[in-house]
Structure 1
Amino acid sequence: MMNKRTLKKSINAICDEIFAEAVALSLYDNDRNMENDDALIRSVIMLRANYISRISHPEPGMDVQAYYKDLRDKFTAEAQQIVDQLNA
């Protein structure tokens, strides 16, 4: 199991990369819709804030390892969904 610090660093790094890609696409691709790009950028910011705050406060009554595994799986799924929207 990863410790909290490593998990936070990983989530921050992934969100930073997705954010940079979203900003670059919105600036350099003139055929894109600006409202959609702004919504994607906001969703990356909200994704980061949501998961970073959830790391420090695991749900009571749930096994810690199961909680962090579920958190990583959900984060991966949401991040992949945003990346797919960027690529579309």
Structure 2
Amino acid sequence: MASRKNLKKSVNYIAGELFTECLVISKFVPGADKQKADELMGKILNMQDEFISRISHTEPGNVKGFYKKFHSDFNAKVNEIIDAMSKLG
């Protein structure tokens, strides 16, 4: 299992990449809905804060189950954001 520090770095990196991609879509793709892109960027920042907070407050006693649920929730949220980004442009 990765350390908390490395897991936080991964979450920050993925959120940063998603945010950058959304920003590029809103600025450089003609016909992209800028309002929806701004809302999506806000969702990305909220997702980052939520998952960083979850890493910092691990459930005692069921650490392995906690991280399994964390990974599945994180992957689902990232896929949801990617699907929303594909609908922008």
Q: TM-score, normalised by structure 2?
A: 0.91
Query: Cα deviation per residue 1:16-70 (whole Å; 9 max; x = unaligned)?
Result: 100000000000113011211111000000000000011010234x510110111
Show the counterpart of 1:77: 76
- Quick one: distance in 2 between partners of 1:6 and 1:76? 17
Residue equivalent to 2:31:
31
Instruction: Let me know the Cα RMSD of the aligned residues.
Output: 1.1
How many residues align? The count is 87
Identity value in percent: 32
Q: Which runs of 5+ in 2 are unaligned?
A: none
> Secondary structure at the residue paired with 1:30?
coil
* One-letter identity of the residue aligned with 1:47: M
4+ residue runs over 2 A deviation: none
| 1:19 equivalenced with 2:15 (yes/no) | no
CA distance in 2, matches of 1:35, 1:59: 37
